[in-house]
Structure 1
């Protein structure tokens, strides 16, 4: 269990699934479909869905690139966290949003695997959260022209190391979309 006191609830984090972020992402349609299915299942189970939205020079606030993809629609009563750094906790209100809702366990989805997903996972675990990555519900673009591995390798590597990640009093791990059960504790 998380090291956060009185935080028994789980939240689904949907990180940066914005037009400009996933436009050229690896396996985009399947990943977005998996995230949409998780959003529906979380809502049906009464689990908080928290949306995280990045802004930058390439993603100016209000632009088409900044908007979430049309396949995903946030409800007005669902939290929206705006960020400017990779770690979704850094200089945002994410911590207070989660504290208000009693959340100590995070189920993480979104983009980009090698940037905001990894940063947020590490930011969560160091802040005392349990953090489970949905192995088939995150993606990245092909940055191999800059020396990075192919996107499928980036995703596989992230899944591999997060599956075995640990910290005192906290759980990490991965789970596939089909195996996420919001009615039960998230498997680690």
Structure 2
């Protein structure tokens, strides 16, 4: 009889532990796979964002019902740019388009800034892809206002961003000869 009770107790514990594990949604599984590699960029006389990433394309197909899950993950630096592109493709497909500002130090290229619908991130020869925390905060607030609060947001136009980036780069990458 003790054996039966022991088995019953173990069964109940095991069942409760498994029942408490949240099931991942299809969107969550896809979001977990997002990374810098979700932004395939190629060079055709200029840098071009190709919309060929299968994970990103699947999230775009799922559309607005997964927007809140995307918003939750947008603060992750390795996912934020990809999620911004996905949300732009879902909500503002006419605002896409990749802009590029090359970064020079003493006339030598050291990387470039990407600009996509008001967001900037960079690729450097020493360090690869990165995004600043203020940029992540800016797009989080933009999408939070749009998705959760249903308010219009504002992101700077490309020309304004390009001018700001060039001025910042002159300070950050001075030519010291």
TM-score, structure 1 as length reference: 0.29
Flag the structure with larger Rg.
2
Query: Relative contact order (alpha carbons < 8 A, sep ≥ 6): 1 or 2 greater?
Result: 1
TM-score, structure 2 as length reference: 0.30
Question: Which protein is richer in helix relative to its size?
Answer: 2
